[in-house]
Every structure is written in structure tokens, then in C-alpha cells.
Amino acid sequence: MADRRCKVVCVGTTRAGKSSLVQAFLYGYMSREYAGTVGVEFHSKTVFLPDGPVRLQLWDTAGHERFSALVPTYLKSAEAVLLTFDLTDRASFDEVTQYAELIAKHAVGLAPTRVLVLGNKSDLDDQRQVSHQEAAAKSIELGYDYMEVSATQPTNVVRCFRHLVAQVVAPDGRLEPTCMSRLRSPCSPSLISGPKRRS
């Protein structure tokens, strides 16, 4: 049984695929039927890291505007944040900065290494509206790590959660290799690391 617990809050616009990512992480697949999150949904799963098991507590927040007032409440006690946007929706990406401002305002003292920006739906490359380089550059500008994922494949889903939990449990080490030096070339399966500022 895991004694260590880690609270991760999932934020992002509606239809970015937050709930699908959580479902793919929990069960290894996602439902083809879309059912938007109403308010906030809670899930938990044990993640096994080299230093031992960690009980991951996931808070999946609704992206719809009418539930936006709930997000700050959960950010206040977050130990890590997944900020998800839809690679096939430019408007979804444009709101990343707005969510970053919410995180900075309400998750006071949260180290930038504990925020991971996810570009979801990487499998829909022919519908992509945001390039890998642009998304990575924006994440680095904000001081956050970046990774592209696909809930339907699923690609990088388990990896992104393990990486984020590792930043909480062992912030001085890295679970995943970075490809910072390859920012100008395609490296979508890999993690792009933002500058590590002091919180």
C-alpha cells in the first residue's frame, strides 16, 4: 500500500481531452462516447516508481466556463498540475496562457517543474493547428515542461503522469530524458523541458 500521496489537478479547455487522458491512464483505453466533466471528478491510482509506490489523487476539472470558479479552489492545494490543450484547436492552445496565470495566482509556491503542459490528440496530425515547435516554445516561455500525447492510442499517457509524480517525489532527478537541444527538429514523443526557475 502506498503511504506517499500526490494530488494532481487537471486543467484545460472543454473538449481538450482531459477526461479521456485520465480514463486512458486509469484503464488503458478511452471511451469513444464524449461525456464532458460536470464540476470536478476525483480518481486515484497507485504509480510505481523506483523509490516506491505513490498513490496518485487525480482531480479532473471541467473546462466549461460555468465551472471556472471551481478551478482556483483545487489549485490551492495542488502538488502538481496537468495543463492540457487540443492540438487540433487553435483556440484551446490560445488559452494556455490564461490557465498559466490561474496556476501562478492560486497554486502559490508550486514549482514550475510540477506543471506539465500536454498537447493532446497528437494522432490527428492531419488536423493539427499547433506545431510541436510552437507549443514547446510557449511552454518553455512559461517555465513548464511540454509533452504531446494521444488518449486514443494511447501515446505517452502513462509516461506523462509518471513524469509529473516523479517531479513531486524526487524533484532533483528526472524520470524522462529531455530533448531540449532538439527543439528545432521533430521530437514529439519526447519531453521538452522548460527552464528551471526557483519557486
Mean pLDDT of the 150-162 span = 91
pLDDT given for residue 175 in this prediction: 41
pLDDT given for residue 87 in this prediction: 97
pLDDT given for residue 92 in this prediction: 95
pLDDT given for residue 173 in this prediction: 45
pLDDT given for residue 73 in this prediction: 87
**pLDDT-based confidence at 183, cuts 50/70/90?**
very low
CA distance 96 to 41: 21
- pLDDT tens-digit series, residues 89-141: 999 999 999 999 999 999 988 999 899 999 999 999 999 999 999 999 999 99
Angle at 181 between CA 179 and CA 182, to 5 degrees: 65
Name the residue type at position 61.
T
Q: What mean pLDDT, rounded, does the chain reach?
A: 81
CA distance 32 to 193: 32
CA distance 11 to 71: 8
Q: What percent of the chain has pLDDT over 70?
A: 76
Domain ranges (residues) in the chain = 4-182
4-182 is a CATH 3.40.50.300 domain? yes
Distant-in-sequence, close-in-space partners of 95: CB < 8 Å, separation ≥ 6: 12, 13, 85
Q: Which residue would you say has higher pLDDT here, 135 or 196?
A: 135
- Alpha helix positions (H), the chain: 18-27, 71-75, 90-94, 96-106, 132-142, 157-169
CA distance 121 to 195: 25
pLDDT given for residue 182 in this prediction: 32
pLDDT given for residue 174 in this prediction: 44
- pLDDT tens-digit series, residues 136-150: 999 999 999 999 999
Which stretches does DSSP call E strand in the chain?
Answer: 4-12, 40-49, 52-61, 80-86, 115-120, 145-148
Distant-in-sequence, close-in-space partners of 169: CB < 8 Å, separation ≥ 6: 4, 6, 49, 51, 54
- Do you find a cis peptide bond into 154, omega within 30 degrees of 0? yes
**pLDDT-based confidence at 56, cuts 50/70/90?**
very high
* b/e code 109-134 from CB counts within 10 Å (16+ = b): ebbbbbbbbbbbbbbeeeebebebee
- pLDDT tens-digit series, residues 13-46: 888 989 899 989 998 876 555 455 556 889 999 9
pLDDT given for residue 139 in this prediction: 96
Task: Measure the N-to-C terminal CA separation of the chain; round to a whole number of Å.
Answer: 31
